[in-house]
Amino acid sequence: MAYEGARVKEAGEKSGFWENVRTIVYAVLIALFVRTFAYEPFNIPSGSMLPTLLVGDYLFVSKFSYGYSRHSLPLSLPLIPGRVLFSEPERGDVAVFKLPTDGKTDYIKRIIGLPGDEIQMRGGRLYINGTLVERTPIDPAQVDDGFGRMVRVPQYVETLPNGRQHLIFESSGDDGQFDNTRVFKVPPRHYFAMGDNRDNSLDSRASVGFIPVENLIGRAEFLFFSVDGSSSIWQVWNWPWAIRWNRIFTGVGP
Using one digit for the tens of pLDDT, what is the confidence trace for 235-253? 888 888 899 999 999 999 7
Q: What is the pLDDT of residue 163?
A: 97
Q: What is the pLDDT of residue 214?
A: 97
CA distance 128 to 148: 37
CA distance 15 to 18: 5
Using one digit for the tens of pLDDT, what is the confidence trace for 213-230? 999 999 999 999 999 888
**CA-CA-CA-CA torsion sign (157, 48, 73, 62):** negative
| Residue 48: active-site member | yes
User: Confidence class of residue 3 from pLDDT cuts 50, 70 and 90?
Assistant: very low
CA distance 217 to 65: 9
Choose, from 72, 109, 171, 204, the residue flagged as catalytic: 109
179 pLDDT above the threshold of 90:
yes
Choose, from 48, 69, 204, 226, the residue flagged as catalytic: 48
| Residue 98: active-site member | no
In the chain, what are the helix, strand and coil shares in percent, each to the nearest 5? Answer: 20, 35, 45
Average pLDDT estimate for 109-134: 98
